[in-house]
Structures are given as structure tokens and as C-alpha cells.
Amino acid sequence: MRQPRIAVLLPCYNEETTIGRVVLGFREALPDSDIYVYDNLSKDRTAEEAAKAGAFVRIEQRRGKGNVVRRMFADIDADIYFIADGDDTYDSESALNMVELLIDQNLDMVVGTRMKAGETERGDPYRPGHRFANRLFTYCVSLLFGHKFTDILSGYRVFSHRFVKSFPSMASGFEIETELTIHCLDLKLPSGEILTPYKSRPEGSLSKLVSIRDGLRIFGAIVSLLKDNRPLLFFSILFAALAAISIGLSTPLLFTYLEVGLVLRFPTAILSTGIMLLAFLSLTCGFILDNVTQGRREKKLLGYLALSSVREALES
């Protein structure tokens, strides 16, 4: 097989203190790769430090990690795409193992699962509540889309060319990792995981993640993707909730009717009937949209299959 063309993609915003170290780390780990730093309108010298370290520097005007990743996937042509953050929290020495796993098993995505244990030389790498939130979101995605990954929010990933060029990205912010994961699970694409050390940010480097705001955006992305990719499940849950409310409201009326033969609270009876009608309307929408989604899924899969796998590209 020929040598793969590897593109290392680093979305950055105000990473002046770390980006040079990150670029040099990936240059050492993957010496034949092209390293691209996409500066998301940083207010410091991120672009200058990246260029000084030897990276190709480009600018993305629209704010948000999802917008940057979508632009990178559209612009860059390679056999293998490596994506990481510019904050020096991921271990560049794991890069070669991830690329080898992708090629050896002919996968489309390999996730660098961050090691869960304890503190590093810089302290605990997880901010308060982030470990719990990551486990919660991972459990929700596993429950709704099938168990596959153990760290869905990891930003350390390797992709094949056909994954990147057939991925219809819509995310604008930190929910991009969730979208990548659910796209892979929805189409049942071959993927893998590899444990990788996870470090705290060095002193002077600040996280751009706002815990509550971005946590709600990630949760909203999971709900939205569930509606778009599993509409029958989504509307069945809605049906069950509405039906339970309707039954709860109507049960006392039923007991009263059995005792005295009269419906004494007509407004409650009308409300209960209306809610039950909404429940069955939701279930009907689920069945209809499930057929539509199946057609969309088949089109996405055909677009994916039209491209060569990693092994086929390297053997051509």
C-alpha cells in the first residue's frame, strides 16, 4: 500500500500559549502529515504561533467549533483526517496508534477515549461536573442509538476520507462531537476506540466551553438528532407521555361515572380527550416520518458507499 495522505486538523480560538507545542507534537508523531490550523477569529497571536511552528493557517469567520469543523472537512482533501484541539490536552503520541488501527481494521472513525483515572502532573483534567455530564450524555446516546462508544464528547478522532466527505454536518458549536458520533451509529459505520491520556490545560490557557450553556446545547442536539434519525422512537416517547397524562386525568372521572353514572367535570373530560388525540397524532407522525427518515438514511448510505474505503484508497 502507498503512504497515506494524512491531514491533522486543529480548530483554534485564543490558543496562543499552546498551539505551537501542539503542532510540534503532531509533527513529531506524524512526520509525513499536513497540519492545518483553522483560526476562529482569535484575539491573540494564535495564527502567528501556529505558522511559526510550521502549520498551514487558515481563517474561519463564523464562530463555533462546529462551523470550523464543517469548513475544514469541506476544504481539505486527504486519505485520513485527524482532528484534535489546540489546547494541548490530548496526547499526540497516541496519534500513530489511532491511524494504524483505522488502516488495519479498515475503519471509518477511531475515537481517542480519554482515560478516566485521576489527576495528571497538571492536576485533575476534568472541570467540576464534566465527568458526570460526559457519562450522562454517553449513556443517553448509548440508550437511544445503541451502545458503541464510551466517550462521545472526545474531540480526539481519526476519520476516513469517505466518512468526512459524506458527513452532512449541521452543528455550529461544541455539539459537533455528538453529531459525529450519532452519524456513525445511525449508519452503523465501522468504528473503534483507543485509550489515550488526557491532560489538564497548562497555566494561562482558558477553556472556551461554558458548562451550562454548552451542556444544554449538547442535550438539545441529542434530542434533535433523535427526532431526525429515530422519529418513531421520539414520537413514541411523546405518545407515551401524553397518553399517561390523559389517563391520569380521566381515571377519577371514570370511577365517578361508575359510582353515580354521571360525568361531573366536563372540562377535565374534554382536556383528557384532547390530550389523548394529540398522543395518537404524535404516534401517527412518528410512523410517517420514520418512512421518510429511512429514505434519507439510504441516500446518505449510498453517498458514503460511492467513496473508497481507506484500504481501497491506499491500494489503488
Domain ranges of the chain: 6-229, 231-304
Q: Residue 77 corresponds to which amino acid?
A: D
The angle at the Cα of 187, spanning 97 to 213, to the nearest 5 degrees, equals 80
- Please enumerate in sequence order all residues whose Cβ is within 8 A of that of 135, keeping only pairs 6 or more positions apart, or say none: none
Q: What is the pLDDT of residue 118?
A: 47
211-263 per-position pLDDT tens digit: 778 788 888 999 999 999 999 999 999 999 999 999 999 999 888 888 888 77
* pLDDT above 80 for 265: yes
* Amino acid 119: pLDDT: 45
Q: Which residues pair with 110 in a beta bridge?
A: 158, 192
**Spatial distance between the Cα atoms of 302 and 283, rounded to a whole number of angstroms:** 29
Q: What does the pLDDT average to over 273-288?
A: 95
Better pLDDT: 127 or 59: 59
How many other C-beta atoms lie within 10 A of the C-beta of residue 186? 18
How many alpha carbons fall within 13 Å on the CB side of residue 50? 31
Task: Place 204 in a pLDDT band, splitting at 50, 70 and 90.
Answer: low
Residue length, the chain? 316
- Architecture in CATH for domain 6-229: Alpha-Beta Complex (3.90)
pLDDT at 127 over 70: no
Tell me, rounded to whole angstroms, the distance of Cα 244 from its chain centroid. Answer: 32
Residue 3, pLDDT above cutoff 80:
yes
Position 5 scores a pLDDT of 93
pLDDT value for 120: 47
Q: Is 67 exposed, middle or buried (0-12, 13-18, 19+ CB in 10 A)?
A: buried
What's the rounded mean pLDDT across residues 261-290? 91
Average pLDDT of 95-100?
A: 93
Mean pLDDT is lowest, of 200-204, 219-223, 243-247, 294-298, for: 200-204
State yes or no: pLDDT of 201 exceeds 90. no
Note the pLDDT of residue 264. 80
